[in-house]
Structure 1
């Protein structure tokens, strides 16, 4: 006798329930999505013990008649798709026909529904009760527009599943996260969540996405978000992103909504983070709610029973459109952080005793202090000038390359003699530049101030240098306030952009006396063969040297000799993930470290000429507001903040008057 037997319907449903119904939040998700598909405008979720004892979902949707309500709990029974072709053009949240059958196999369920048509003078309500995949009761009930589903005793017949549920607070948190996500996806629907008769969350259902974000998070956060919008022939993007200063430590604040479906996408989140560039600090992530609408035929939602994982066609085109939309939105804001009075902590300082000193002692101390302070900038001159000449020489080398394609050397500034370095730096800095630093520039005229504000970009050349504090921060002022400038971050950004603009000719090669031999695994050999064109684009010409070996007879000048071997192995992995990277992008991480090491450090005193030169040189940068690590270079103290600090302007609740 054969061993193979067909499973019973109840057993098959319980196995399916293991994929669909993981915890109470899974039940809430499936029932709420069905309510949305039924065109509901109000959905209420009532919980008892975070859904472990009871879940009730009440909607005002289309409802079902007596025939449909009896079929709803059968496996793979659905009103969403009927043919194979429908599977490739899904417009609804649910379509698999597994949810109600799975829930009915591991819980006791009662469904009440009423379908109201314009022709019905006396609508009739109906109900059905299911336990362990079997209908235990059915009949007529009091009519009420929409559907009410009550799920009692979840996992009553699978005690192992019940035992492994988390605490009530954890299960409630999972449900709340889903309800907030779905509220962001459908701002026109009013969602209400109650647990043990306590209201946990409610949305207005006004159709305003920003208002819903304020419901989910806080109004103060929602007000700071920036609207994004873009579209092409295949995609339409809309939503909100946070400015670079408003970030979180995880990606859970990034919400993706694809054709109304809340999804988790590691790839899309990475695209978003890369679109911010170096404006984000390492380990920080933006707050974002982004909706992507596209032809259903370009997205596959039938990847996992939870339907939270999807596959997208034309991902490269979507990445380009999303990146452009984010960068355009970020250009519309002022990236200089502004210090508010609330941001300044109150420091309790210990009392200090002041003793009178003899006049001759104070005079000698004062004179010695002046001598020391006048000496410090002079000691620093040579180091700082050397660094500035190094950056100037690199920029000059780049300019020369663009104007003269016959230059055959790609060596950096360190290979130049001192006279050559000085000569190159003089080309970049005209004679009048140093002289102009000696005079004190007047503050901006009112018209120039207004124009600067309109452009949302600091006019670095008209900032008046005030001084340096703690050997680390420079102070400059304008008509609207003053700025603290981190001198290390400022020059780090200068060096970073100079190196990033350097685009060498990959055909200029350094010949090796003995070729370098690389050995790969069989899988890596296939990758190398596929990426040979990408390697050659970078100036790395690998030649076959055996079944799993390649040799390299020369290497491009943008690589150092001791970096070649490790770089090739690393590139195999890097180009597999991102085949379109440029040389500058591949070198970016090492450039960031090089920029940081060479920039002036804290406790390094600058004289007025050096400080002004550093500030004015920021005017030509693409992003003068962030260092390569994403930290701010400038912090702004505006006039209002200062007046509040000195109580010239007082909050109404504090009383007082303006002096």
Structure 2
């Protein structure tokens, strides 16, 4: 029998490796930028065409390479960082595996010009190497500037199946901008410039981290930054956090860097959010850029091809230190009541803090509370160590059944309205009181209510719920979610018929957005116009808003437009839907947030009727339940002793 196992040719092996390292143009940008940083560059220029599909060019003023090193850099597993296995646990550079250039050259046409700078040996001539599909076409000496200039052309030219899986230029460019932002944040001492199709997107000067954040995300971030720092023998934490009032419902502006390398770490994100306990609403996400410095021997970064995942040898200690650092910053900048930082919670088990009093969230002055302890974790003792157990959410005190009657306070019957009912008209009403949620398994029923032929009396509770009788018992409607369903249907109709109504602004508003959102708005201009948005470009990453959807009148136009784009950016990457569908969902969710307000009796009834007439009265477009029924048996059970 013939032997059937054989070694793969280098060209095929490199293409397989490229499938792990180079997933899209943004992967190439990340790897080449990290190479420039490792080469001690102080100025880096990035030139992109067609979102990186036709050209990615990185020019730096780093130390450059010799002729031999330039040739060796394209060999698989060729690296200047590793000499022994022990070096794997002392990594402080960005690249170290020696896979990047070999993988890129396997699926693209590459030109490399490099010359050693005076900081090394200062060669008079540089080296030019041309490679296509792992095959070296030429190598020669050329005159060039010190540093490295690398061009990656026609990505996936020899793997058409991979190229067909690339998304639209706007989507791929957003991924490139994400990678660019991460590298630029990690190295504020390096000047970066980015050009796409001959247009300048970023021109970042070297400076402090705070300036880099403002240059990347906008001048409005000057007001929300709070410095954060904590030093311990095990790990140091520094960076900036955002003030609670600037927290957003969309994610994407949370950055962790471990030894200057961007990482994704849900466990540490939980620590940061826990430090904001009681200062931001549930479901909102604070801005933060946090740098963690730790001895490389305590971490393992060699667990994923993109090196964005990381393992600590003592994650719980890092968790506690990060939480303490953020909580300390929140207290120093008077963002919360005074905190107690005297106790050391970084490495020692902490007993649970006493429960707060039943009179709200403030607690009794006589009850000391250790706010430095990691509150989002419910401690349980096991084997003489503090074992954390993830909590289900913020630890708010439960309301007892004795508060049932509080639901119906202030529900005096309003006077009958004489004006036509407009569900989306802004009303000045009393300030919202604390919402009361009745926890019951009935709230999670998936059955649809049996709607009556005519809607009877409707009652509003805490500006949040609508109650109306149905044959099965009492129908409870989530007011915000009902608005979301009704608005979604109207926005969908406007996108389909291209007849959205716009409300012209008497005084047009100028709004500045992030470059990624600027490109997204231009791509979706036709759909946004169909909804009622009217806007013009007025400079780099800025728009002049001339009109907004009529259903959104009364909102802050700048915030509506900017936040919608941010919501779209997140939903586009998370939801596998058509652009129009994502746009309708995002705008409906964004506009429905402000609909927790007092409603006159005709408005309450009109909302219920519009909900019944909607395409799906039971669920929001995102699948959240809108209605639930408190059956007669359940209601009777509430009064049994």
Partners of 2:105 and 2:134 within 8 A in 1: yes
> What TM-score does the superposition give when structure 2 sets the normalisation length?
0.56
Gaps of 5+ in 1: 338-401, 403-412, 414-489, 502-530, 538-574, 606-625, 630-659
Is this contact kept in 2: 1:59–1:148, CA < 8 A? yes
Q: Is the 8 A contact 2:379 2:389 kept in 1?
A: no
Q: Which residue of 2 aligns with 1:591?
A: 397
Q: C-alpha offsets along residues 24-58 of structure 1, whole Å, 9 cap, x if unaligned?
A: 00000000100000000011110111110011000
- Report the equivalent of 1:306: 306
Partner of 2:275: 275
TM, length-normalised to structure 1: 0.55
Identify the residue that residue 487 of structure 2 maps to in structure 1: none
Give RMSD over aligned pairs.
3.7
Question: What are the within-5 Å matches in structure 2 for residues 308-323 of structure 1?
Answer: 308-323=308-323
Partners of 1:593 and 1:498 lie apart in 2 by 22
Describe the SS at the equivalent of 1:591. coil
Separation of aligned partners in 2, 1:214 and 1:533: 42
Q: Distance in 2 between matches of 1:313 and 1:596?
A: 48
Q: Give the secondary-structure state (helix, strand or coil) at the position aligned to 2:51.
A: coil
Retained in 2: the 8 A contact 1:495–1:599? no
**Which residue in 1 is equivalent to 2:67?**
66
> For residue 250 of structure 2, what is the aligned residue in structure 1?
250
Look up the SS of the partner of 2:303 in the other structure.
coil
Q: Could you tell me how far 1:143 is from its partner in structure 2?
A: 2.7
C-alpha distance in structure 1 between counterparts of 2:263 and 2:89, whole Å = 18
Partner of 2:145: 144
SS in 2 for 1:279: coil
**Count of residues in correspondence between the two structures:** 391
The secondary structure found in structure 1 opposite 2:262 is: strand
In the TM superposition, 1:299-448 aligns within 5 A as 299-335=299-335
Residue 21 of structure 2: aligned partner: 20
Does the 8 Å CA contact 2:79/2:96 hold for their aligned counterparts? Answer: yes
Relative to structure 1, the CA distance from residue 120 to residue 247 in structure 2 (aligned partners, 3 Å threshold; closer, same or farther) is closer
Deviation at 1:594, TM superposition (A): 4.1
SS of the residue 1:143 aligns to: coil
Distance in 1 (CA, whole Å) between partners of 2:66 and 2:400 is 71
SS in 1 for 2:141: strand
Alpha-carbon shift at residue 155 of structure 1 (Å): 0.2
Conserved? CA contact 2:277–2:394, under 8 Å: no
- Cross-structure match for 2:133: 132
Structure 1 residue 500 displacement after superposition: 11
Deviations 1:72-127 (A, max 9, x none): 11111111111111111101100000000000000000000001246867621111
**Native 8 Å contact 1:251 1:269 kept in 2:** no
- Give the superposition deviation at 1:145: 1.0
> Which whole-Å CA distance do the structure 2 matches of 1:499 and 1:587 have between them?
23
* 2:387 aligned residue: 579
What secondary structure does 1:148 align onto?
strand
Question: Distance between the aligned counterparts of 1:491 and 1:267, measured in 2?
Answer: 32
Counterpart CA distance in 1 for 2:35 and 2:203 is 19
Superposition map of 1:439-588 within 5 A? 492-493=360-361, 534=381, 579-580=387-388
- Helix, strand or coil: the match of 1:50? helix
Q: 1:580 to 1:180 in 2, by over 3 A?
A: closer
Secondary structure of 1:5's match?
Answer: coil
Q: CA deviation at 1:327?
A: 1.3
Q: 1:284 to 1:68 in 2, by over 3 A?
A: same
Query: CA distance change for structure 1 residues 9 and 604 in 2, over 3 Å: closer, same or farther?
Result: same
Question: What is the rounded CA distance, in whole Å, between the counterparts of 2:379 and 2:388 in structure 1?
Answer: 13
Q: 1:258 Cα shift?
A: 0.6
Q: What is the distance in 1 between the residues matched to 2:301 and 2:293?
A: 14
The whole-number CA distance in structure 1 between the counterparts of 2:319 and 2:405 is: 34
Change (3 A) 1:11 1:581: closer
Say whether 1:213 aligns with 2:19: no
CA distance in 2, matches of 1:308, 1:145: 31
Asked if the contact 2:46/2:56 (under 8 Å) is kept, the reply is yes
Q: Distance in 2 between matches of 1:598 and 1:494?
A: 22
Confirm whether residue 233 of structure 1 aligns to residue 39 of structure 2: no
Corresponding residue number in structure 2 for 1:545: none
Tell me the residue number matched to 1:565. none
Work out whether residues 278 and 627 of structure 1, in 8 Å CA contact, stay in contact via their aligned partners in 2.
no
Q: For the residues of structure 2 that align with 1:108 and 1:98, how far apart are their CA atoms? A: 16
- Tell me the distance in 2 between the aligned counterparts of 1:17 and 1:297: 28
Partner of 2:288: 288
Taking the aligned partners of 1:4 and 1:532, their CA distance within structure 2 comes to: 53
Number of the residue aligned with 2:161: 160
Aligned ranges for residues 173-192 of structure 1 at < 5 Å? 173-192=174-193
Contact 1:492–1:595 (8 Å) recurs in 2: no
What is the alpha-carbon distance in structure 1 between the residues aligned to residue 300 and residue 402 of structure 2? 45
- Whether the 8 Å contact between 1:53 and 1:154 is mirrored in structure 2 is yes
Distance 1:532 1:492, change over 3 A: closer
Unaligned runs of 5+ in 2: 338-353, 370-377, 412-432, 437-641
CA distance in 2, matches of 1:580, 1:187: 36
Distance 1:495 1:293, change over 3 A: closer
Instruction: Give the SS at the match of 1:285.
Output: coil
Give the CA deviation at 1:222. Answer: 2.9
Alpha-carbon spacing, 1:164–1:603, altered in 2? closer, same or farther (3 Å):
same
Q: Which has a greater percent of helix?
A: 1
Secondary structure (helix, strand or coil) at the match of 1:248 reads coil
